[in-house]
Chain A
């Protein structure tokens, strides 16, 4: 009995308070308009609107175009007749099959090797060495260059007759190889060049992870009598998990959209089949062949693939509390 009485009183007073605020709706609006939410709105909402229009409006419009038969110059897409024909066509297209396969080969080989090399370089530079900053600057330099620029460098490096790569392998009595012309070699050559460009990036991410690590971990491992190799393997590398995930995601996403390097290296939309990936196929279908709807469908496939990487990543970051 006493319990019910108390509840009634509480809910009664709450209702009264509610009624009081409700009467004064002028005041409420005034307080709302002065609230942090409304005052803060212009700061984030304007950029959000611009970005949202481009990103989400763009994705929505792209999806819509992929359902039409839009092709050719100068005419807006016909939205009267929507179907999944382009996706059906893509599933049967041998070019889509080949480029998907190449995309995965590029993504996995490039990401794995770049991560391992980047981790190795980070551990190396994390030890007390001379001129560390200068060395880091050189290792990271390729990352500051455009793919159009680095593609020119590597085209020259891989030149059959005069390239430095053939000069170097020649020292070991090998070659000369036609790195660019030989379909069996060209994908590896491209992956190698991209590893050159990105391992400095992976190194910087791992270095940041290493430097934010508390020292007592090292000390504890030392007291346990672990040797250097064991210490890295058992103590330090497991702690770099979050850096590794970040680096891997950035590298995989890059591999999915790598277009510029390939286009610049071969100087045209049509790159050798062995290096043709979904990203180059999409741009070619759209801007060389004007198959807009088909290109939009391929772009959707690419988008789904990247969402399959990004969504778990963001969820992971959220769980880690680092978002």
Chain B
């Protein structure tokens, strides 16, 4: 009686792939961490679609039913943050482009151009310290510079006739320049890693042919840099968009017409209704939207930038 059943059981087991317990364990762990990483974001997303009543009345991570559903928080948040979004674009795009351009040329001058090896190394070390120093160490001089020495509020007054430009936007100019200054070292380092790994052959061959430093950069290095330009642009755009300390200290108030989106968002918490979590969550998503879009499209490049910034 028992014999046929066991043999039959064995044959079925033989037909199935072997149960690999470690594989199942890993799959479960992967799922657990997936939930861990996504839950604050997911919870925020569903909360942003809930009416104030539903925010407190329902379980935080469950999407709202038809009764508790509203888009009102999103429209309020967009209204509130729209100027900040525009300001952030005005600041982030030029400063990112300049960081990428200057980072690339600096890395070129320090890797593929052949000059005094030890001096080159010393310059590189000075750039490296520029990556790591805490910005707190330059905050007091920075605000002293932009308010007392360069007095950006007065100096930029001649731009006042431009459409859209207000006196306060001079502060936005100050933040943009500040981001260029402190963004150069990391961009230099990212490009440097790429140029060091670049095959020497092309550059050496061009040198033997008598190509100048400039034409080597323009005709050989720059075209080869295209993928890295993408990586650095994505990385630096995200960093500058997300940055807050310079905006806070140089622009000052979240009510300022020059306030960037992160600065406005920090005010959304404190001076509008502090308990309206639906609005806060919607605001957080609106402020993060450009970086989320870039991340979804170019996650690989972002990860590459992160992994090579050391």
What chain A residues lie within 8 Å of B284 (beta carbons)?
148-149, 152-153
Q: Which residues of A contact B123 (CB under 8 A)?
A: 44, 48
Contacts of A127 in B (CB 8 A): 26
Residues of B within 8 A of A257 (CB): 134-136
Contact pattern, A 187-207, Cβ under 8 Å of B = 1, otherwise 0: 000000000100011001101
> Considering the complex, which residues of chain A in the window 43-57 have a beta carbon less than 8 Å from any beta carbon of chain B?
43-48, 50-57
CB distance from B88 to the nearest CB of A (A): 10
B181 is contacted by which of A43, A54, A256 (Cβ under 8 Å)? A54
Q: Which of A17-25, A174-182, A261-269 lies at the interface with chain B?
A: A261-269
- Contact partners of A113 in chain B: CB under 8 A: none
Q: Do A152 and B61 touch across chains, with their CB atoms under 8 A apart? A: no
Contacts of B133 in A (CB 8 A): 55, 59, 303, 306-307, 310
Task: Give Cα A124 to B306, complex, Å.
Answer: 19
Q: Return chain A residues, CB-CB under 8 Å to B110.
A: 44
Over the window 109-128 of chain A, the binary record of Cβ atoms lying under 8 Å from chain B Cβ atoms (1 yes, 0 no) is 00000000000010011010
Q: Which one of B126, B140, B184 lies within 8 Å of A295 (CB-CB)?
A: B140
Residues of B within 8 A of A53 (CB): 181
| A135 close to chain B: CB less than 8 A | yes
Tell me whether A164 and B269 are in contact (CB under 8 A).
no
Q: Does A138 contact B (CB under 8 A)?
A: yes
A159 beta carbon closer than 8 Å to chain B: yes
Contacts of B241 in A (CB 8 A): 146
Contacts of A57 in B (CB 8 A): 141
Is the Cβ of A50 less than 8 Å from the Cβ of B277?
Answer: no
The residue of chain B having its C-beta at the shortest distance from the C-beta of A154 within the complex is B40
Would B138 and A55 count as touching, CB distance under 8 A? yes
Complex contacts, A310 vs chain B, CB 8 Å: 128-129, 132-133
Interface window among A8-16, A218-226, A231-239, A242-250: A242-250
In whole Å, how far is A89's beta carbon from the nearest beta carbon of chain B?
Answer: 16
Which one of B5-13, B63-71, B291-299 is at the interface? B291-299
Decide: B249 and A164 in contact? CB cutoff 8 A: no
**Is the beta-carbon distance between A260 and B310 smaller than 8 angstroms?**
no
Give CA–CA (A267, B262) in the complex, Å: 12
Q: Which of A47, A268, A283 contacts B184 (CB 8 A)?
A: A47
Q: Are B33 and A139 in contact (CB under 8 A)?
A: yes
Question: Are the C-beta atoms of B138 and A260 separated by less than 8 Å?
Answer: no
Q: Mark A299-316, 1 if CB is under 8 A from B, else 0.
A: 110110011011000100
Residue B95 at the chain A interface, CB threshold 8 Å: no
Contact A204 B303 (CB under 8 A): yes
- B248 lies within 8 A of chain A by Cβ: yes
B17-64 contacts to A, CB under 8 A, are 22, 26-27, 29-30, 33-34, 36-41, 43-44, 47, 55-56, 59-61
Q: With A295-B139, A314-B129, A323-B124 given, can you name 17 additional A-B contacts, CB distance below 8 Å?
A: A37-B115, A39-B214, A42-B109, A44-B108, A48-B123, A58-B141, A65-B141, A136-B303, A138-B34, A145-B288, A148-B284, A259-B245, A264-B265, A283-B139, A299-B137, A303-B136, A323-B125
User: Taking beta carbons and an 8 Å cutoff, which residues of A are in contact with B?
Assistant: 35-37, 39-48, 50-59, 61-62, 65, 74-77, 121, 124-125, 127, 129, 133, 135-150, 152-157, 159, 161-164, 167, 196, 200-201, 204-205, 207-208, 228, 246-247, 249-250, 253, 256-257, 259-260, 263-264, 267-268, 279, 282-283, 286-287, 292, 295-296, 298-300, 302-303, 306-307, 309-310, 314, 323
19 A-B pairs in the complex with CB atoms less than 8 angstroms apart: A36-B113, A47-B102, A48-B106, A59-B133, A140-B299, A146-B243, A146-B262, A147-B242, A148-B244, A152-B280, A159-B277, A204-B307, A208-B307, A228-B22, A249-B132, A264-B265, A292-B144, A296-B141, A310-B129
Give the top 10 A-B pairs by smallest Cβ distance, nearest first: A44-B109, A43-B109, A58-B138, A40-B113, A146-B242, A267-B270, A54-B181, A246-B310, A257-B134, A47-B106
Chain B residues at the A interface, C-beta cutoff of 8 Å? 22, 26-27, 29-30, 33-34, 36-41, 43-44, 47, 55-56, 59-61, 102-103, 105-106, 108-110, 113-116, 121, 123-130, 132-145, 147-149, 178, 180-182, 184-185, 188, 212-214, 217, 238, 241-245, 248-249, 262, 265-266, 269-270, 274, 277, 280-281, 283-285, 287-288, 291-292, 294-295, 299-300, 302-303, 306-310
